Structure 1
């Protein structure tokens, strides 16, 4: 019998920005290898100054949480305020700014567990609404993943990107009882 490491979740901090970038890089490579470049493109986040600054900001925001199997970080969650390009909530909420997992550990339920953790954080703060936005293009598989985790699609939106095609997005919400 083999002992399987238990998935743990811990708060992140300033030293974890490189871990977030590594997770983003592996997810981007996985998507690109499958021809799914609409979400994050093809270039590693770790080579993009804007994404590096974003990872640094997330790591110092107090809203970063890392999932680990043993000593190996296998997922990241960032919660905080909604991004400026989505319709504002009509009530207090917790917003998922980032959810990424290491595709080498697909099937371990990492993303779903991190979303459940975000719901716990929201409840602990007395909030009844958890929202997230995601890539809503192609076959909407990512939207389907969030729906399988208890979210309901609400507002579609588009982010205009100079010199690049518009990015189709979808806001989803999870009402917490």
Structure 2
């Protein structure tokens, strides 16, 4: 197992949109191989115009941070404003818009390291609340992952998607001391 301290984090930029799409494609393929298609569907993000535009926006807005191990990018974190489909916070916050890791490095603590980094960013900005939303379907494994990283589940929500099944989501928060 990799020591979380050996995972470096660097700021991302517009040149990293393709890397974000690669990580999303890899994670989607991993989910599909396990029959877990409710979270991100079955198609690669790199072939979906909506996801390509989303990756370009994330990479260009200053909130992208990439985890590296040796010289390989093994995870991505995007922080910024809460998405429109979640209940708004009642106090200043930093919102995790994306957390994705390279499944080839599963078990190395990359996701937890990136979430710890998000907490550091929030503290640097004088913000005491870090929130995230995730897929709450199937067996709630993703919700449990975030709870294991110090988050508490708050509001469940559902995103209606025309022509597709509704997407069950969960907002989680972490108070920062």
TM range (shorter): over 0.9
Give 1:33's aligned residue.
33
C-alpha displacement of 1:116 = 0.2
Question: Distance between the aligned counterparts of 1:144 and 1:122, measured in 2?
Answer: 22
User: After superposition, where does 1:1-12 map in structure 2 within 5 Å?
Assistant: 6-12=6-12
Secondary structure of the structure 1 residue equivalent to 2:126: coil
Question: Distance between the aligned counterparts of 1:6 and 1:112, measured in 2?
Answer: 13
Secondary structure of the structure 1 residue equivalent to 2:160: strand
Give 2:126's aligned residue.
126
Misfit runs of 4+, over 2 Å? none
C-alpha displacement of 1:52 = 0.2
Secondary structure of the structure 2 residue equivalent to 1:139: coil
Give 2:146's aligned residue.
146
C-alpha displacement of 1:6 = 2.2
User: After superposition, where does 1:38-49 map in structure 2 within 5 Å?
Assistant: 38-49=38-49
User: After superposition, where does 1:51-130 map in structure 2 within 5 Å?
Assistant: 51-130=51-130
Question: Distance between the aligned counterparts of 1:96 and 1:167, measured in 2?
Answer: 18
Secondary structure of the structure 1 residue equivalent to 2:171: strand
Question: Distance between the aligned counterparts of 2:123 and 2:84, measured in 1?
Answer: 24
Could you tell me the TM-score, scaled by structure 2's length? 0.97
User: How large is the Cα RMSD of the aligned pairs?
Assistant: 0.8
Aligned residue-pair number:
173
Secondary structure of the structure 2 residue equivalent to 1:161: coil
